[in-house]
Amino acid sequence: MIVAALALAAMGLVLGLGLGFAAKRLAVGDENPLLKEIEQLMPGSQCGQCGLPGCSAAAEALVEGRASVTCCPPGGMALAKQLSDLLGVPLDAGQMGTPLLARIDDAQCTGCTRCYRACPTDAIVGATGQIHCVLQHACTGCAKCLEACPEDCVSLAPQDPSLDTWRWAKPQTV
Amino acid sequence: MFNFAHPRGGIHPAAHKERSAALPIGDLPLPPRLYLPLRQHAGAEALPLVRSGDTVLKGQLLASSPTELSAPLHAPSSGRIAEIGRIHAPHPSGLMVNGIVLECDGEERWTDLIVPEDPFEEAPEVLAERVAQAGVVGLGGAIFPAAVKLKQGAKHEIRTLLVNGSECEPYLTTDDRLMCERSEAIVDGARLIQHILRAYRIVIAIEDNKPEALAAMRVASKPYGAIEVAAVPARYPMGSAKQLIHEITGREVPAQGRSTSVGVLVHNVGTVYAIHQALRFGRPLISRVVTVAGGCVRTPRNLDVPIGAPLQALFDACGGLTREPAQLLLGGPMMGMVLPSIDVPVIKGATGALALARNEMPRREAAPCIRCARCVDACPMGLMPLDMVAHARVADFDGASDYGLRDCILCGCCSYVCPAHIPLVQYFQYALGQQDEQRQAARKSDYIKQATEARAARLAEEEAARKAAKAAKAAKARQRRKPAEHASSKGVES
Amino acid sequence: MDYLLFLVGVVLVNNMVLVYFLGLCPLMGVSSKLDASISMGGATALVMTLGTVASWLIEHYVLQPLGIGFVRILAYIVVIAGMVQFLEIVIRKSSPMLHRSLGIYLPLITSNCAVIGVPLISVREDHTLLEAGLYGFGAAMGFALIMVIFSGLRERLALATVPAAFAGVPIAFVTAGLLAMTFMGFGGLI
């Protein structure tokens, strides 16, 4: 019995020492190459819609599995798909919300320029005293303009259907 | 089975062409209002040049094209612009699109047309530009601007100009009647296009179920050399460019390639006629021949219709509808667009207006696929529709692409032959739509990334500029202070 | 020739997965994508071969001389776990690419019953060192083969219209059962 315990202890000791030594000798930098890759994929607009402070924080959370691959609305389905491929996480398309876009109510806009200063993607154009306008192709729906607007004239809504965004539905069959 | 010189697959659907092909092309009584969508072509929306309330003449330019891939829009009749706003799109979605509403005054006063001299004397580029100005698009349904194709002659060597008169879709007889009645104009148009493209020969391909059109075109082309009228076997989809090229030249257009890569350019008979009108008489594309047919139409026939005429007017001119149609279609029954309502206008790409009865519709209840592979036999592109559907069904669109989804011409042969009534082509449309959406989303996220970086760079630049300005100001202030100090110290000295 | 027959016997006739029913968790868990199952098969093959050899050495130079055969399982687990860890460190240093494709599977393999089962069977059969190495390698090849076949089947299965009650894992189990029955056909080969 004692022999067995000693033998096992010795084996454990030898292996443990070997592992410790190997970990020291063969150590690689803490920099996770995956993290860098994911950071490059992120939109970089630091909009905070994922609930995390900035895109690099989101990338970190993704690598550690704290955030879902569908957490980034500006990246949309395209980004979610790339992330799920990279991280080997299954992608649940249903989790992705419909992208929202900002819209400015012409009647109430006073042209205060606050919203376009706040916009992280320069998606709002206008000048002092002129009605501002949202460029739909650059808007991420981050709602920063919503907070910045003193007149409460910015609203978020899904994009209006048009012939360019209309898609055939999946046929209903067995 | 090993006949590689001819296209594979294809189907023989019941033609239903007899009734409308028997009557000559009629004229549509001018409707009181014409509805003109600003986008009747492949590219971006045309830009309106008129205001509501303006009086316009027939043939006057109403909207100009912003890009190469768009086509301008002209007034189909004289009258007053009633409104520029939202009108019903001739589209399965039933959405509203931007358009111009023209209230006709019934006088049909033409604007001054620039009637060119002999077009054969002019440079091809000038002629191609004139076709672009006339707003001619592919009238076979592709609505691709014709001038873009004509300008290919300068870039590629075009050996054969293929005039597509095969008209393989059931019910439709517009090209058939056009070839019977206006054969000389078509031959002249084809010769003009040959001149523009510097093509070696012209082949006019007509399905062998149109003997009258074949005879008429043979007679009309007799005086000229290098025009061949070829009878091709009647089989759907013979009217598809790739299949027709394969049949006539024996060469297959490579996957995801264009017909120019095998030295051929295909134009529909209707387009050739429109080009003839534009180059000989300076007339823009403001009307087209439309087949009005289907089991619910009293007298199916072809009509010369001004663009923008409401569908209801077309059916009324053909004796009205005998009963409530089960389905309305713009175009043919195989590839046409299902319309949710009758309140839509005729557009440049509308080959037919069909009101189908219940008995003319396919069965809808689908059963599971049993892998009988009839769709594989029927596919004219040599694809495996059953595998493409299996991938599309589980939303694996990349997998479907691996099986050749991007080469699918959406002809619907597979759905037609499927014994389980699986709506294969609808699945492909769904899959292609989803892929488009993914691509659009990827493009947007790329753009957003660029915009974010640009903004960061701009902010950094502004910050640097502000700092530099501050530093300069401080330096200036220091410099101003220095002489003063100097003076004061001098003062102390003195 | 004997060794060749030996190898065929391990890979096909006495297949670890479908005849001994060892290593079923990765068979069900990591077989939905072909790429992943190839990586998993490769990683397991490496560990299984080395593990069997290392266990043989421990068995014949430590356990038997000291007469403590009853701690065999414990000792094997210690050795294999340590070895997998070591392997991970080495791979991470030498080839980050390989580490990315194998990395997440290596810790999984530590707890794989086939990896511990193969050395135990090898000891029971009184193999020589060469035989033990061959046995480990053959078993690993058999495992990888099944992983690849089964993931190919599952990729096709994902496209099939399966009745709702069978959709997902149930139909995968049915398929695995059918595959096992197929492999029974090799029974009379040797």
> Is residue C106 one of the residues assigned to a domain?
yes
Asked whether the predicted pLDDT for residue A86 surpasses 80, the reply is: no
pLDDT digits (tens, 9 = 90+) for B173-183: 999 999 999 99
Of A11, A28, A34, the CB nearest to C75: A11
Q: Does a structural domain hold residue C19?
A: no
In order of A107, B76, B306, B317, B462, the CA distances from B303 in angstroms are 48, 15, 9, 9, 65
Tell me which of A95, A125, A145 is where a domain ends: A95
**pLDDT band at B378; cut points 50, 70, 90:** very high
B475 is a domain residue:
no
Q: Is A77 on the interface with B (CB under 8 A)?
A: yes
**In which domain, by residue range, is B417 found?**
374-434
- The stretch A76-95 carries a mean pLDDT of 75
Residue A63 lies in a domain: yes
At C76, list the tokens.
Answer: 């094997």
Give the whole-angstrom CA distance, residue C49 versus residue C10. 13
Query: Higher model confidence: residue A93 or residue A164?
Result: A164
| Chains sharing 3 or more CB pairs under 8 A with chain C | A, B
Sign of CA dihedral C99, C50, C46, A10: negative
- Looking at chain B, the whole-number percentage of residues with pLDDT higher than 70 is 96
Task: Tell me the pLDDT band of B271, cut-offs 50, 70 and 90.
Answer: very high
| Predicted local confidence at residue B362, as pLDDT | 78
B323 domain residue, yes or no: no
- Angle formed by the axes of helices B269-281 and B183-197, nearest 10°: 80
Neighbour count for residue B463 (Cβ, 10 Å):
10
The minimal CB distance from B430 to the residues A120, A123, A168 is found for A168
> Does the pLDDT value for residue B189 go beyond 90?
yes
Q: Does residue B464 form part of some domain?
A: no
**Mean pLDDT score of chain C, rounded to an integer?**
86
Contact of A45 with chain B, judged by CB distance below 8 Å, is answered with yes
At B1 the pLDDT is 41
3-state secondary structure at position B145 = strand
Tell whether B393 is within 8 A of chain C (Cβ): yes
| Facing residue for A161 by CB, picked from B95, B422, B432 | B95
For residue B432, the chain A residues in CB contact (below 8 A) are 168
Whether ipTM tops 0.85, in short, is no
* Chain B from 396 to 455: CB within 8 A of any C CB: 396
pLDDT at B4 over 70: no
The pLDDT value recorded for residue A89 is: 74
- Percent of chain B exceeding pLDDT 90 equals 40
- Nearest by CB: C92 against A28, A34, A174: A28
Domain count, chain C: 1
A124 lies in a domain? yes
CA distance to A41, A68, A95, A149, B411, per residue, from A83 (Å): 8, 9, 14, 34, 36
Does a structural domain hold residue B457?
Answer: no
For chain A, what's the residue count?
174
Q: What is the pLDDT of residues B406-459, one digit of tens each?
A: 999 999 999 999 999 999 999 999 999 989 888 888 888 888 888 888 888 888
Residue keyed to tokens 């980004």: A79
Model pLDDT for residues A4-58, shown as the tens digit of each residue: 888 889 888 998 898 888 888 877 665 666 777 788 888 777 777 777 777 888 8
User: Across the interface, do B369 and C161 touch by the CB < 8 Å criterion?
Assistant: yes
Report d(CA B295, CA B95) in Å as an integer: 27
Strand B61-64 and strand B47-48: the pairing is antiparallel
Q: Judge whether residue B47 has pLDDT over 80.
A: yes
Indicate yes or no: CB of A8 within 8 angstroms of CB of C58. Answer: no
Torsion B217-B221-B222-B228 (CA) sign: negative
Q: Which of B370, B371, B394, B402 to mutate to test the interface with C (most CBs of C within 10 A)?
A: B394
Domain check: are A68 and A117 in the same one?
no
pLDDT, position B76: 92
The whole-angstrom separation of Cα C77 and Cα C83 is 10
With beta carbons under 8 A apart, name residues in chain C contacting B396: 158-159
B445 closest CB neighbour out of A74, A169, A170: A74
Q: Is the domain of B311 the same as that of B387?
A: no
- Chain A closest-CA separation from residue B36 CA (Å): 16
Same domain, B114 and B229: yes
The chains in contact with chain A, meaning 3 or more Cβ pairs closer than 8 Å, are B, C
B380 and B313 in a common domain? no
Kindly give the pairing relationship between strand B287-293 and strand B201-207. Answer: unpaired
Residue A122 lies in a domain: yes
Task: Tell me if A1 is assigned to some domain.
Answer: no
Question: Is B281 domain-assigned?
Answer: yes
Residues B47 and B182 in one domain: yes
Grade residue A114 by pLDDT with cuts at 50, 70 and 90: confident
Cα four-point dihedral sign C66, C72, C74, C80: positive
B485 pLDDT band, cuts 50/70/90, is low
Average pLDDT, chain A: 81
| Structural domain that includes position A69 | 33-95
Asked if the model's pLDDT at residue B132 lies above 70, the reply is yes
Across the interface, which of C158, C159, C161 has its CB nearest the CB of B368?
A: C161
Write down the pLDDT at residue B484: 60
For residue A126, the domain's CATH number is 3.30.70.20
> Per residue in B82-121, pLDDT tens?
999 899 888 888 888 999 999 998 888 888 888 877 888 8
Higher pLDDT, B9 or C110: B9
| b/e map B434-447, b = 16+ CB within 10 Å | bbebbeebbebbeb
The C-alpha atoms of residue B268 and residue B148 are separated, in whole angstroms, by: 14
- The residues of C whose Cβ lies within 8 A of any Cβ of B are 158-161
Task: Note whether A153 and A129 are same-domain residues.
Answer: yes
Domain boundary among B271, B288, B317: B317
Note whether B102 and B63 are within 8 A (CB): no
Residue B413 among known ligand-binding residues: no
pLDDT for B493? 45
Task: Give the strand pairing for A100-104 and A154-158.
Answer: antiparallel
Average pLDDT, chain B: 88
Lowest-pLDDT range of B77-81, B487-491, C98-102 = B487-491
Look at residue C97 and give its three-state secondary structure.
helix
Count residue pairs from A and C with Cβ separation < 8 A.
51
A89 & A39 share domain: yes
State the average pLDDT over residues C143-158.
Answer: 91
- pTM value? 0.83
Residue B414 is assigned to a ligand binding site: yes
Question: How far apart (Å, rounded) are the C-alpha atoms in residues B378 and B1?
Answer: 13
Query: Domain total for chain B?
Result: 2
| Residue contact B394–C158, C-beta within 8 A | yes
DSSP per-residue codes, B186-218: HHHHHHHHHHHHT-SEEEEEEETT-HHHHHHHH
Q: Kindly report the nearest CA distance between residue A22 and chain B, in angstroms.
A: 42
Which residues from chain B sit within 8 angstroms of residue A168, using beta carbons?
92, 426, 429-430, 432-433
- Identify the pLDDT of residue B492: 47
Residue B408 among known ligand-binding residues: yes
- The last residue of one of the domains, among B317, B338, B357, is B317
B379 annotated as belonging to a binding site for a ligand: yes
Is B265 in the same domain as B378? no
Does the distance separating the beta carbons of A140 and B426 come in below 8 Å?
A: no
Q: Which of B425, B449, B458 to mutate to test the interface with A (most CBs of A within 10 A)?
A: B449
Chains that contact B by 3+ CB pairs under 8 Å? A, C
List, as ranges, residues 93-112 from C with C-beta within 8 Å of A: 93, 96, 100, 104
Spatial CA neighbour of B252 closest among B3, B9, B6, B10: B6
